[in-house]
Structure 1
Amino acid sequence: MHAVVFAYHDVGVNCLSALINAGIKIDLVVTHQDDPNENVWFGSVAKMCADRKIPCITPNANELGELVHKLQALSSDYIFSFYYRFMIPQTILACATIAALNMHGSLLPKYRGRAPVNWAILHGETETGATLHVMDTKPDAGDIVGQAAILIGPDETATDVFEKVSQAAVTVIEQALPTLLEGIVPRKPNELEKGSYFGGRKPADGQIHWNQTAKQVHDLVRAVAPPYPGAFTDYQGARMVVARTSLQGPLPTNLELGVCGIQVVDNRVFGICGDRKAVEILEWFPASQ
Structure 2
Amino acid sequence: MSGANAIGRPARAVVFAYHDVGVRCLRVLLDAGVEVPLVVTHADAAGETIWFGSVAAVAAEYGLRCEAPEDPHDPALLAAARAAEPDFLFSFYYRKMLKPDWLQVPRRGAYNMHGSLLPRYRGRAPVNWAVLHGEHETGATLHRMNEKPDNGPIVDQLAVPILSDDTAHEVFGKVTVAAEIVLARSLPELIAGSALEWMQDLSQGRYFGGRRPEDGRIPADADARQIHDLVRALAPPYPPAFLQLHGRRVFIERTQHARTPGSMPGSGLRLVSDGAALWLIAADGSALKVLAARRDGDAQPLDAGCFEALHAGRWVAADT
> What TM-score comes out, normalization by structure 1 length?
0.96
Counterpart for residue 219 of structure 1: 229
The 1:225/1:237 distance shift into structure 2, 3 A limit, reads same
The 1:53/1:173 distance shift into structure 2, 3 A limit, reads same
Counterpart for residue 204 of structure 1: 214
Q: What SS does the aligned partner of 1:12 have?
A: helix
Q: 5 Å matches for 1:264-283?
A: 264-283=273-292
Q: What SS does the aligned partner of 1:70 have?
A: helix
Structure 2 stretches of 5 or more lacking a match? Answer: 1-10, 299-320
Q: Percent identity?
A: 46
> What TM-score comes out, normalization by structure 2 length?
0.87
- What is the identity, as a one-letter code, of the residue corresponding to 1:277? S
Question: How many residues matched?
Answer: 288
Larger radius of gyration: 2
Counterpart for residue 78 of structure 2: 68
8 Å CA contact 1:257–1:272 kept in 2: the answer is no
**CA shift at 1:287, angstroms?**
1.8
Q: 5 Å matches for 1:98-113?
A: 98-113=108-123
Counterpart for residue 64 of structure 2: 54
Counterpart for residue 192 of structure 1: 202
8 Å CA contact 2:15–2:40 kept in 1: the answer is yes
Measured in 2, the distance between the counterparts of 1:68 and 1:56 equals 14
Q: 5 Å matches for 1:37-52?
A: 37-52=47-62
Q: What SS does the aligned partner of 1:61 have?
A: coil
Measured in 1, the distance between the counterparts of 2:277 and 2:236 equals 21
Query: 1:2 and 2:12 equivalent?
Result: yes
Measured in 2, the distance between the counterparts of 1:215 and 1:110 equals 22
Counterpart for residue 28 of structure 1: 38
Q: 5 Å matches for 1:239-278?
A: 239-247=249-257, 249-256=258-265, 258-278=267-287
**Deviations along 1:193-215, whole A, 9 cap, x unmatched?**
11111000000000011311101
8 Å CA contact 1:65–1:91 kept in 2: the answer is no
Q: 1:83 aligns with which of 90, 93, 97?
A: 93
Measured in 2, the distance between the counterparts of 1:230 and 1:259 equals 21
- What is the identity, as a one-letter code, of the residue corresponding to 1:196? R
Q: What SS does the aligned partner of 2:52 have?
A: coil
**CA shift at 1:67, angstroms?**
2.5
Greater mean alpha carbon deviation, residues 8-17 or residues 70-79: 70-79
**Deviations along 1:149-208, whole A, 9 cap, x unmatched?**
000011111110000000000010011011012133420011111111100000000001
Measured in 1, the distance between the counterparts of 2:223 and 2:32 equals 48
